[in-house]
Amino acid sequence: MAIILSSDALEVTVTPERGADIVQVVDRATGTPLLAESPTGLVRAGEASLTDSMAGWMRGYPGGWQLLVPNAGPEREHDGVRQGFHGEASLAVWDVRAQDGASCELETFLLTAPLRLRRVVAVSSDTLTITDEIENLSPDAIETRIVQHPAFGAPFLDGESYVVTSAAKVITDAGAPGSLAGANIIGRPDEVLEAGPQPGSIRIPGPGAGASLFAALTEFATAEVTFCSPTRGFAVRLAWDSSILPHAWFWIEANAGRGWPWFRRLYAIAVEPANVLPGEGGLRGYRRGGPGTHIAPGESITLTTSLTRLALGRD
């Protein structure tokens, strides 16, 4: 059963039964949902209908915000096991260890990596804070990919919206960069993509634009991005710890994807803090993919990600 957390400014829905996802965040002052909603969230087909781990992950994917561990991206062989598309944590059932009206603490154990995950979701005033602890239960060191996977959508974002970032570089995908940029391009975000109205900002295509992008942002001066919505009159800032997550996957799906899985039904804009660049191989000194973060035997790492509502024009 979903958990509802609230403050004066925000209402947050968490689903322990699937990935401890942050399914939605609503701005209470305007009644505006911030996160994208996927049509695949309605799908409840059985296992026999699945063709691969990506199809399994898409079944019931609600949009919103996931934690991707121990894998992110296509399924791969790692440490003697096949780790599925976007990892096990985002499909796992999580136990609720504590809960009140403004916070909850959740825990799960993984099979495809020797990991115990603890997640604390807390909302206070205008800020949602997510603290994730990843503990290695093995006497051997392990390596894991880690991606925070929030996707924002309409009606919060539209064709007047833009993203502000201090990332020095955007790197587009090698095989499927989308319609907004070519493959294997490295450059300043506001030079590779349409610049927004503020320095360092990127204009966002609106719903129905038929535009798409798959890329990554990197070399952040400050590990944060701000999604600005002049139409709604406010912005939200996503901030994270760049010592663990130095990059951010950046994708746009503005009702562009013909055929499976979206059939042009999804509008989502995502900036996803990550410890690896998407894809595999190298590009002019940048390494794509790789094993991820090293965790020593019996040790744990902790990462904190926050989402804060801002008035437009506030520093």
Instruction: Say what the pLDDT of residue 46 is.
Output: 58
Give the model's confidence band at 314: pLDDT under 50 very low, under 70 low, under 90 confident, else very high.
very low
The pairs formed by 186-192 with CB atoms below 8 angstroms and a separation of 24 or more are 186/283, 186/284, 186/286, 189/165, 189/217
Does 1.10.40.30 match the CATH number of domain 3-311?
A: no
Picking from 300, 295, 245, 276, the residue whose alpha carbon sits closest to that of residue 134 is 300
pLDDT tens digits, 260-297:
999 999 999 999 999 999 999 999 999 999 999 999 99
Picking from 155, 181, 147, 164, the residue whose alpha carbon sits closest to that of residue 74 is 147
- The neighbour count for residue 250, using CB atoms within 10 Å, is 28
pLDDT tens digits, 142-188:
999 999 999 999 999 999 999 999 999 999 999 999 999 999 999 99
Number of helical (H) and strand (E) elements in the chain, helices listed first: 2, 24
- Show me where the domains of the chain are located: 3-311
| Residues whose CB is less than 8 angstroms from the CB of residue 48 and which lie 6 or more positions away in sequence, other chains included | none
Percent of the chain as helix, strand, coil, to the nearest 5: 5, 50, 45
Residue 96, Cβ density class (10 Å: 0-12 exposed, 13-18 middle, ≥19 buried): middle
Peptide bond into 291 cis (omega under 30): no
Q: Report d(CA 136, CA 139) in Å as an integer.
A: 8
What is the reported pTM?
A: 0.96
**CB of 188 within 8 A of CB of 201?**
no
- The neighbour count for residue 4, using CB atoms within 10 Å, is 13
Q: Report d(CA 309, CA 246) in Å as an integer.
A: 23
Give the model's confidence band at 315: pLDDT under 50 very low, under 70 low, under 90 confident, else very high.
very low
Instruction: Classify 271 as helix, strand or coil.
Output: strand
Residue 43, Cβ density class (10 Å: 0-12 exposed, 13-18 middle, ≥19 buried): middle
Residue 154, Cβ density class (10 Å: 0-12 exposed, 13-18 middle, ≥19 buried): buried
Spell out the alpha helix ranges (H) of the chain.
Answer: 53-58, 189-192
What angle (nearest 5°) sits at the alpha carbon of residue 242, between those of residues 228 and 238? 20
For 68, phi then psi, to 5°, come to -100, 110
Tokens for 125?
């005033």
What single-letter DSSP state applies at residue 277?
B
Considering only CA atoms, give the Rg of the chain.
Answer: 18
Q: Report d(CA 140, CA 38) in Å as an integer.
A: 39
- Averaged pLDDT for residues 197-218: 97
- Positive or negative CA dihedral for 77, 78, 80, 84? negative
**Among residues of the chain, what percentage have pLDDT more than 90?**
94
- Does residue 37 carry a pLDDT above 90? yes
**CB of 162 within 8 A of CB of 195?**
no
